[in-house]
Amino acid sequence: MKRLVAEALGTFVLVAGGCGSAILAAAFPGLGIGFTGVALAFGLSVLVMAYAVGHISGGHFNPAVTLGLVAGGRFPASQAIPYILAQLAGGIAAGAVLYLIASGKADFNATASGFAANGYGEHSPGGFSLQAGMITEVVMTAIFLIVIMGATSERAPKGFAPVAIGLALTLIHLVSIPVTNTSVNPARSTAAALFQGGWALSQLWMFWLMPVIGAVIGGLIYRGLQEKAA
Q: For the segment 97-122, what is each residue's pLDDT rounded down to a tens digit?
A: 999 999 999 889 999 999 999 999 99
Cβ-contact 178, 126 below 8 angstroms:
yes
Cβ-contact 43, 170 below 8 angstroms:
yes
Structural domain for 144, as ranges: 1-225
CATH, residue 143? 1.20.1080.10
* Residue 163 Cα to chain centre, angstroms: 16
- The mean pLDDT value of the chain amounts to 95
DSSP 107: T
Q: Please indicate, yes or no, if residue 230 is contained in any of the structural domains.
A: no
Q: Please indicate, yes or no, if residue 70 is contained in any of the structural domains.
A: yes
pLDDT at 229: 63
Q: For the segment 198-226, what is each residue's pLDDT rounded down to a tens digit?
A: 999 999 999 999 999 999 999 999 999 88
Label residue 230 by pLDDT band (50, 70, 90): low
Q: Please report how many Cα atoms fall inside a 13 Å half-sphere around the Cα of residue 125, on the Cβ side.
A: 20
| Gap between the Cα atoms of 49 and 187, Å rounded | 16
Count up the domains in the chain and report the number: 1
Cβ-contact 208, 189 below 8 angstroms:
yes
Q: Please indicate, yes or no, if residue 95 is contained in any of the structural domains.
A: yes
Q: For the segment 32-61, what is each residue's pLDDT rounded down to a tens digit?
A: 999 999 999 999 999 999 999 999 999 999
| Gap between the Cα atoms of 166 and 39, Å rounded | 10
Q: Please report how many Cα atoms fall inside a 13 Å half-sphere around the Cα of residue 53, on the Cβ side.
A: 20
pLDDT exceeds cutoff 80 at 66: yes
Q: Which amino acid is at 107?
A: D
Question: Considering all CA atoms of the chain, what is the largest pairwise distance in Å, rounded to the nearest integer?
Answer: 60
In angstroms, the Cα distances linking 229 to 48, 55, 114, 180 are 31, 26, 45, 35
Q: Which amino acid is at 21?
A: S
Cβ-contact 117, 196 below 8 angstroms:
yes
DSSP 184: S
Residues in the chain: 230
Q: Please indicate, yes or no, if residue 62 is contained in any of the structural domains.
A: yes
Nearest to 120 by CA among 178, 169, 62, 38: 178
Q: Is 103 left (phi over 0), alpha (psi -120 to 50) or beta?
A: alpha
Model's pTM, two decimal places?
0.95
Q: Three-state DSSP class for 141?
A: helix
